Amino acid sequence: MHKTSTLDFTQGSLGENIIRFSLPLFLGNLFQQLYNTADSLIVGNTLGPQALASVASSGSLIFMMTGFFNGLAVGAGVVISKYFGARDYARMKKAIHTDLAFGLVAGLALAALGVLFTPVVLGWMRTPADIMEGSVTYFRIYSYGILFCVMYNITMGIMNATGDSVHPLVYLLISSVVNVILDFYFIKALHWGVGGAAAATTIGQGLSFLLCFIRLVRTDEVYRVSLRDIRFDIPMLREIIRYGLPSGIQNSVIAIANVFVQSNYNTFSSTAVAGCGSYSKIEGFAFIPINAFVAAITTCVSQNLGAGEYERARQGARFGIVTCLLLAETIGLLEFVFAKQLIGLFNSDEQVVAYGVRQIHVESLFYFLLAVSHSIAGVMRGAGKAKVPMFVMLGVWCIFRVLYISTAMSISHTIELVFAAYPLTWSISSVIFVIYMRKSDWIHGLER
């Protein structure tokens, strides 16, 4: 069976392979962020600040819903990469089909939870009364299609784990264009409001998943999927959970902390929610290249450790970490300089822009610290040591962050104190990760 679109990190130039793998991921993530941001751009400029706040208030809740299962998908990717690097294609295929079966069950469960409990959770988050109706509408419609979101991440992860980052990019380009067109049609032509934005996103995600799944079923690559083989293999499921559970817990605790942060934003005003929501979209764009490199680092490390190429794993990790750091700080500087123009893209309201600019000025110059934490966490996951980033994120990004914000807000109800929680916790986690990587024998984490 020939391989034409997979990338083998155990051979050739590491730097070149990481860049070749990262570029399609970067473009794919860019367009994914574009169609997520299209909702906010079109809603903010067409329907106004309150509608923009309705969309923005759901972001942390969506991540909380999907983060755990996406973390498990990361674990599946490590398992698939390990067997791909070891040329053990029989076990690799068992991992792929078990991963798909798990995604179907998880996606349906999430959809049911989202539809049933949306108003309750948004109430717990202290969502302002003037945006509650729009927030419920947006998130409930999004929940109907959350299965597509889960399954797209799983099918994309399967291809990425075997070195194919090109096809997911193509499919995401197509679905992004469809999403933007539907945004304009549903919101401007049909006047569906924020519900139209959610419907457009759901349809776009459904299309991207469908295209990925068709590729998996019809491809001649080693990761080809057979419909009759999509079922749980219990030993393989245990292995996937062993690698993925820490990442899933990590995503969940970060999401819970972010929901707590969002609930504090909600105590200010709907313009604060809109401004901070606009910033979160910009930050999403800022970290697209970083996330692409982190995914490449994880795949590179797991493939090489699976093949017993320890020195190549070390070299790939070093290259990826340094590149992430430099990229992040360059992006942060540009974001700091053009803060007002960037926030103004979402809404021209002076208060909305002011809140967004204030958050950029507090956080953007510290992006290099976030890059250090994410890239070393990617190395640890690729080495099979996913518990390390889980405990660091749980302790620093969740428990400490929540305690800091609770204490700071009880002293002074100032939104900059909430903003400062991010650079502070990024700093602490980066120091811990660097010390751990220098002191530990992480290179042997994936040995069987």
In this prediction, residue 1 carries a pLDDT of 38
- The answer to whether position 301 is within a domain reads yes
- The answer to whether position 52 is within a domain reads yes
- Tokens 């791909």 map to which residue? 84
8 A C-beta contact, residue 224 and residue 217 = yes
pLDDT in tens, the chain (448 residues): 344 456 778 888 888 888 888 887 787 777 767 766 766 777 777 787 777 777 766 666 677 677 777 777 777 887 888 888 778 888 899 999 999 998 899 889 988 988 888 788 778 777 777 778 888 888 888 888 889 988 988 998 888 888 787 888 888 888 888 888 898 899 888 888 888 888 988 898 899 899 999 999 998 888 889 998 999 989 898 888 887 787 777 777 777 777 777 777 777 877 888 888 888 888 888 888 888 888 888 888 888 888 888 888 888 889 989 998 999 999 999 999 999 999 888 777 788 888 889 999 999 999 999 999 999 998 988 888 878 888 898 899 888 988 999 898 889 888 889 899 999 999 999 999 999 988 887 776 555 4
CA atoms of 29 and 124, how far apart (whole Å): 31
Plot region of 232 (φ>0 → left; ψ -120 to 50 → alpha; else → beta): beta
In this prediction, residue 56 carries a pLDDT of 67
CA atoms of 392 and 433, how far apart (whole Å): 8
8 A C-beta contact, residue 246 and residue 383 = no
| Residue 366 lies in domain | 14-440
8 A C-beta contact, residue 376 and residue 322 = no
Sequence-distant (6+) residues with CB within 8 A of 366 are 332, 422, 423, 426, 427
151-154: which pairs have CB atoms within 8 A and are 24 or more residues apart? 151/100, 151/103, 151/104, 151/107, 151/209, 151/213, 152/205, 152/208, 152/209, 152/212, 153/66, 153/70, 153/73, 154/73, 154/76, 154/99, 154/100, 154/102, 154/103
**In whole angstroms, what separates CA 195 from the centre of its chain?**
23
Sequence-distant (6+) residues with CB within 8 A of 115 are 140, 143, 144
CA atoms of 405 and 380, how far apart (whole Å): 29
- Least Cα distance to 157 among 76, 93, 219, 249 occurs for 76
CA atoms of 239 and 220, how far apart (whole Å): 26
The one-letter code for the residue type at 367 is Y
- The answer to whether position 108 is within a domain reads yes
- The answer to whether position 448 is within a domain reads no
- The answer to whether position 122 is within a domain reads yes
Please give the model's pTM, rounded to 2 decimal places.
0.69
CA atoms of 310 and 193, how far apart (whole Å): 54
174, two tokens: 């197509």
Overall residue count recorded for the chain in this entry: 448
In this prediction, residue 448 carries a pLDDT of 46
- The answer to whether position 3 is within a domain reads no
CA atoms of 113 and 99, how far apart (whole Å): 21
Total domain count, the chain: 1
In this prediction, residue 444 carries a pLDDT of 67
* b/e sequence 32-52, b meaning 16+ C-beta within 10 Å: bbbbbbbbbbbbbebbebbbb
- The answer to whether position 409 is within a domain reads yes
**Total Cβ atoms within 10 A of residue 298:** 29
In this prediction, residue 326 carries a pLDDT of 92
**Total Cβ atoms within 10 A of residue 131:** 25
- The answer to whether position 2 is within a domain reads no
8 A C-beta contact, residue 260 and residue 405 = yes
First to last CA, the chain: 26
In this prediction, residue 414 carries a pLDDT of 86
